[in-house]
Amino acid sequence: MITTCRICKSSIKQFMSFGDMPIANGFKADKSNKDEFFYDMAVGFCNDCKMFQLLDHPEPEAMFNDSYAFFSGTSQAMTSHFRGFYESVVSKYKLDAAESFIVEIGCNDGILLDNFSQAGFKHLGVEPSGNVADVAIAKGIECTKSFFDTNLVSDLLNKGIKADLIVSANVICHIPDLNDLAQNVASLLKEDGVFVFEEPYLGAMIEKISYDQIYDEHIYIFSAISLQTAFARQGLRLIDTEKQTTHGGSMRYHFCLDESERVPAGQVSEVIAAEKEQGLDNAGTYDKFRENCETSKYQLRTLLEKLKDEGASVCGYGATSKSTTVLNYCGIGLDLIAFISDTTPIKQGKYTPGTNIPVVEPDVFYESNPDYAVLFAWNHEKEIMDKEEKLGKSSVKWIRFVPLVEII
Ligand code: DWN
Ligand code: SAH
C-alpha cells in the first residue's frame, strides 16, 4: 500500500476502504475462493496535486492477460459512440488518411481503431490482453500485444514511428505509472501531434455516488484539475475538454506538447472553475463521498433483504467490472442474488469474483423470468431497456442503485 502520492510523491492517507477486493474481471471456473487474490481496496486523495487514487492494486499482468473478460464490442451504443469520437477528432484536427499516423493505447477488440483502419489511416493499436487483441487483429487492424510502456515506445521511435494522434478510451486511468505514461506520450507525439482520450469523470462519480467506478483496473479517477497538473509536469498541455455521457459520465481530454502553438479552448477554464465549485480539489468532498457510499450500501442491502423476505426472486443484469465492487463492498452473495445474466461468452458458466454468483447467458434470464433484476450495467440503461422492451421476453422489474437505490 502506497503512503506517498503516485504523481507528486507528497504524503497521502486513505479516506476510505471498500474492504478486501478480488480482481474485478477475475471470473472463476469454480466456486472456491481458495486461490483467489484479494487486496485492500483503499482510496486516497492527494491534497497537493489533487489526484484521486487507489492505494494498492494487483499487478497489471494479473488483470490484463490472455483471458481478459471485457470485450468493448458488447455494446451497440458504445460502437456508435466511438464512430462519433473518430469523426470528431478527424475533423477537428484535419487528419488525412494518406499522411497521419494514429496510435491507440488499449484498443481492446478494435471498437475505436477500426474506424481509422477502415478509412485507410496508418495506425497501431497497443493492447496487452491477447484474447481481445486477437479480435482486433481478425478485423485487419494493426495491433501489438503489449503494454504501452517505455520499451514499446523506444521500439517505435527506433523504427522511425511518430504519431500525429494518440487516442485512448477508458485506459489511461488503468496505468499505474502516469508520469511514465505522459513522458512516453510526449516522446511519441510529432511536434504538432495531439493526445486525445476519454476517461470516467470524477465530477460525475461524486455527483452520482457511482462508487462502483472504483475497482482494481481504475487506479485513478481523473478530474481536469488533477490531469492538467500531472501532465504539465511531463511537458503536456491541456487544450480542450468535452463532457461525455458514456460510462455514467466521462470526460474527453485533449493534450498537446507544451511548445506547440495550439491555443486552449474556452471550456478548459470553465470546466476547471466548475470543478472548484463542486469541491473536487477539496479533501472534505471525499469525506462526504464516503458517507454517501455507506448510505448507498445500506439502502441496497436493505432493499434486497426486504425482497428476499417477501419471497421475490432477484437476479443481476450485466456482470460488469463495477459489479465486483458493489457485490463485495455490500456483502451481496447468492443469498440475495440468484445469478447474473451477461451476453459475454467468456463470462458465462463462471462465478463472480469474491462472491461466487453464477454468470449465465440471457436465455436463462428469460426462462426463469425473475421478479427483479439489479441493473449492474446501469451505464447502458437506455440500450438495455430499449432492447429488452423490443424483445418482450421478460416481465422483470429493474433495480437501479445509481444515483439512488430505487425500483425503476
Ligand atoms: O474501463 C473499463 C470499461 C470501459 O469497461 C474497463 N476497465 C472494464 C469495463 O468495465 P465494465 O465491465 O464495468 O463495463 P460495462 O460496459 O459496463 O460492461 C457491461 C457488461 O454488461 C458486459 O459484460 C456486457 C454486459 N451486457 C449485457 O449483458 N447486455 C451489456 C449490454 C449492453 C447488454 O445488453
Ligand atoms: N478502449 C476500450 C477498452 C477499455 S478496457 C474501451 O473504451 O472500451 C481497458 C483496456 O486497457 C483493456 O483492453 C486492457 O487490456 C488495456 N490496458 C490496460 N493497461 C494497458 C497499458 N498499460 N497499455 C495499453 N493498454 C492497456
Give the pLDDT confidence of 41-63 residue by residue, as tens digits: 999 999 999 999 999 999 999 99
Same domain, 223 and 371: no
200 located within any domain: yes
Nearest to 54 by CA among 185, 223, 174: 174
pLDDT > 70: percent of the chain: 100
**One domain, residues 342 and 382:** yes
Indicate if 211 and 340 belong to the same structural domain: no
Residues 207, 308: one domain? no
- The three cell numbers of residue 142 are 494493426
Q: Do 220 and 298 fall into the same domain?
A: no
Ligand 1 closest atom vs CA 170: 1
Q: What is the pLDDT of residues 361-370, one digit of tens each?
A: 999 999 999 9
Residues 258 and 327 in one domain: no
User: Do 97 and 142 belong to one domain?
Assistant: yes
Residue 14 falls inside a structural domain: no
Q: What's the domain count of the chain?
A: 2
Average pLDDT over residues 338-346: 98
Rounded to an integer, the average pLDDT of 141-169 is: 98
Give 256-311 pLDDT, tens digit per residue: 999 999 999 889 999 999 999 999 999 999 999 999 999 999 999 999 999 999 99
Q: Is residue 243 part of a domain?
A: yes
Q: Are residue 83 and residue 166 in the same domain, yes or no?
A: yes
For residue 187, CA distances in Å to 111, 257, 261, 373 come to 26, 9, 17, 48
Q: Do 399 and 292 sit in the same domain of this protein?
A: yes
Whether the model clears a pTM of 0.95, i.e. scores above it, the answer is yes
* Residue minimizing CA distance to atom 5 of ligand 1: 70
- 362-399: pLDDT as tens digits: 999 999 999 999 999 999 999 999 999 999 999 999 99
Q: Which atom of ligand 1 is nearest to the CA of 171?
A: 1
Q: What is the pLDDT of residues 106-134, one digit of tens each?
A: 999 999 999 999 999 999 999 999 999 99
Residue 40 lies in a domain: no
Ligand 1 atom, smallest distance to 387 CA: 34
Could you give the C-alpha distances from 384 to 88, 112, 392, in angstroms and in order? Answer: 26, 21, 12
Which residues have any ligand 2 atom within 6 Å of their CB?
60, 64, 68, 70, 72, 105-106, 108, 111, 126-129, 132, 147-148, 169-171, 174-175
Q: Are residues 236 and 290 in the same domain?
A: no
- Is residue 179 scored above 90 in pLDDT? yes
Residue 337 falls inside a structural domain = yes
Residue 266: what pLDDT?
A: 84
Largest CA distance in the chain: 67
pLDDT tens, position by position, 76-109? 999 999 999 999 999 999 999 999 999 999 999 9
166-174: average pLDDT: 98
Average pLDDT, the chain: 97
The parent domain of residue 347 ranges over 285-407
Q: Both 153 and 118 in a single domain?
A: yes
Are 256 and 153 in the same domain?
yes
**Tell me, what CATH number does 231's domain have?**
3.40.50.150
pLDDT band at 153 (very low <50, low <70, confident <90, very high): very high
Strand partners, 372: 314, 397
Residue 9 lies in a domain: no
Query: Residue 402: pLDDT above 90?
Result: yes
Mutate to test the pocket of ligand 1, among 72, 217, 320 (most ligand atoms within 8 A of CB): 320
Which CATH number covers residue 320? 3.40.50.720
**Ligand 1 atom at shortest distance from the alpha carbon of 377:** 17
Residue 62 lies in a domain: no
Identify whether 2 is part of a domain: no
pLDDT at 94: 97
